[in-house]
Amino acid sequence: MREVFPDDFTRVRSSLVIMAKAVREAMRQASAALLAADQNLAHGVTVRDAEIDVLYRVVEDRVYDLVARRRPVGGDLRVVMTALQVAADLDRMGELAVHVARSTLRRHPQPAVAPELALLFRSMAAVADELAAKIVSALADQDEVLAAGLDADDDAMDELHRDLFAVMLSHEWPVGVEAAVDGALLGRYYERYADHAVNIGRQVAFLPSGRPAEAA
């Protein structure tokens, strides 16, 4: 691992950890709202997405401030700029949580998840939360081993995604087109959430090792 401005990078890394925690919490609440058809909880997710947008700007400001003070070039600049890619992935994960919340709001007071699919989506929500928890830890502790384990969770998500389509496209599917359309889109949101988490895991290895105070 490159050791580039470890002290300066601490503030950047701290803001990434805070952002990752917010994104984890957003999907936790979006999943809880989805599975309980809870309108208030879902609405809260859509409102608090603005906080994630602000955190994204904080990461950007800290990265550019670091660059202005230290003037890295070449490989050093690349590793510092990796933080912006991580922030972009986290921002998108937050937006996907909002999409899940909006599905809940759109069908309320009916549940957006058909009873036949509830167990599958409970599992997808659990895997998504596991991925997000690992991202938080990997960013906080520069834990490359933890980050590498994300692929196994992503495989689990892909398998749940395949199971979802198998259930919906089976001849016994009794619930109809609307539930299947909701299921297809919700499945895609969780799958993309996992993809972005895996992206972040790949990038953690390239981040400078500045260690946030809260992880020390």
Where do contacts with its own copies occur on this chain (CB under 8 A)? Answer: 64, 67-68, 71, 73-74, 77-78, 81, 84-85, 88, 165, 168-169, 173, 176-178, 180-181, 183-185, 188
Quote the least distance from Cβ 22 to its own copies, whole Å.
21
Quote the least distance from Cβ 19 to its own copies, whole Å.
17
Task: Work out the number of other CB atoms within 10 angstroms of the CB of residue 24.
Answer: 24
Q: Which residues contact 194 (CB under 8 A, 6 or more apart)?
A: 127, 128, 131, 153, 154, 157, 158
Closer CB to its own copies, 177 or 216, in the complex: 177
Q: How far apart are CA 124 and CA 20, in angstroms?
A: 19
Closer CB to its own copies, 32 or 184, in the complex: 184
- Which candidate, 161, 171, 149, places its Cα nearest to that of 124? 161
- What are the tokens at 149? 């384990």
- What are the tokens at 130? 């596991």
Closer CB to its own copies, 172 or 214, in the complex: 172
Quote the least distance from Cβ 194 to its own copies, whole Å.
15
Quote the least distance from Cβ 211 to its own copies, whole Å.
25
Closer CB to its own copies, 71 or 145, in the complex: 71
Q: How far apart are CA 207 and CA 199, in angstroms?
A: 13
